Structures are given as structure tokens and as C-alpha cells.
Structure 1
Amino acid sequence: MEENKMKIVGVAACTSGIAHTYIAKQKLEKAAKALGHTVHIETQGTIGTEDELTMAEIKAADVVIIAADIKIGGRDRFIGKKVVEIPTSMVIKAPKGLINKIEEEVAKV
């Protein structure tokens, strides 16, 4: 990893599948990019899965963020990866803090 820059993938999903799903995706992407990381967040909302992650993206990822308030589909894709699970409300409140904490944890490994 070049200078602690991470490849982040993730899934956002909330109970209603409307607002928090997409706000969490937007906040995660903005915070990660602002900190110099590459990021791709899949959404699982009322209209189904959007921006679906590819197996290549998952394989290349340093960390998987599951920002969800419900059970997500396709969780088995992340077996063997470092997975961080967090409620969408926490992502919305402090996305940069979350990314910074993940940076610290990944750097320890």
C-alpha cells in the first residue's frame, strides 16, 4: 500500500432502503477520496443492488466497509477480507473519523 492509501470497497443498506443507504454511500466516498483512498460502495436499496462490486474489486480491496442496519445480500463475497461493520447513522455522522480509524487498524497489520 503506497503511503497508507487504501483500496476500500463496501456495501450500504438501511432498513427502509431509501435515504440512509445513499447518504452513507455518498459520505463514505467523499471522505475516502478526500483522504486519498480509492473507493467503491455498492448500495442495496429499495430498487435492488446498484453499483455492484466486482470480484476483482473485492479481491484487490484492503478493507470492506459494511454500512448497514439490515442483513446484506452477498456477504459471502467478503470471506477472508478485513470487514468493518458499522450502522449507517455512524457513517453519516463521522465518515472521516471512520476512515481514519480504519487507516490506523490497517497500518497495524
Structure 2
Amino acid sequence: MNIVGVAACTAGIAHTYIAKEKLENAARKRGHKIHMETQGVIGVEDALSSGEIETADVVILATDVSISGKERFEGKKVVEVPTETVVMSPNKLIEKIEELV
């Protein structure tokens, strides 16, 4: 499965990057391809390309704040969760997404 997403927490620091790392590890462990963009105090990092979004089977928005560019995901299956859910249970989240897709 191809997964793309955005991680963004309130402060834009710790939970943003922890959520990204945990999601990437959980998805890869189950054999999925994943690319996570971060949005925080230093701006957008690892920005998703339009091609990556187009070929994605699902979009994960691990966010605690509104993000820029959300309209890019129109027409895609989008799963929105707080960063805390990702930090606490990344493997369970990936399993649920597998059921959804």
C-alpha cells in the first residue's frame, strides 16, 4: 500500500517528528511504502509531491492543528487522527488503515 501524510502538532516540534517516525516505522514494518510531510515552527519539511499524492492509497493526517494544503487530498481516502494516537499506537493505526483500504 502507498501511504502519504502530514504530521503537525500544536507546538510544531516534538510530537510532529515523533509521529512521523513512528508512522514510517510501523508502515514499513508491515511492508508499505510511506512518505510523511511535517508542518511545524520551521515550516514544511519533506513536502509531498503531487505524484506521491496521486498514487497514494490513503492519506494520514496526524495533526493537532489545521494544516496548509489540505485541499491537495480531495478525492483521496483520508484518515485524520491526533498526533497522540500515532505516538501511542502506530501499529494499531496501520492495522486499522489496512482494514479500511
Would you call these one fold, judging by a TM-score over 0.5? yes
Superposed displacement of residue 62, structure 1: 0.1
Question: 2 CA distance for matches of 1:41 and 1:91?
Answer: 13
Answering whether residue 29 of structure 2 is matched by residue 56 of structure 1, we say no
Please list, as runs of the form range in 1=range in 2, the aligned pairs for 1:30-69 lying within 5 A after superposition: 30-69=25-64
Question: 1 CA distance for matches of 2:22 and 2:67?
Answer: 19
Answering whether residue 72 of structure 2 is matched by residue 74 of structure 1, we say no
Question: 2 CA distance for matches of 1:80 and 1:99?
Answer: 20
Give the greater-gyration-radius structure (CA): 1
* Cα-Cα RMSD: 0.3
Give the fraction of aligned pairs with identical amino acids, expressed as a percent.
64
Give, as a single letter, the amino acid of the residue that structure 2 aligns with 1:67.
A
Superposed displacement of residue 75, structure 1: 0.2
Partner of 1:96: 91
Count of matched residue positions in the alignment of Structure 1 and Structure 2: 101
- TM norm structure 2: 0.99
Render the CA deviation track for 1:79-98: whole Å, top value 9, x for unaligned.
00000000000000000100
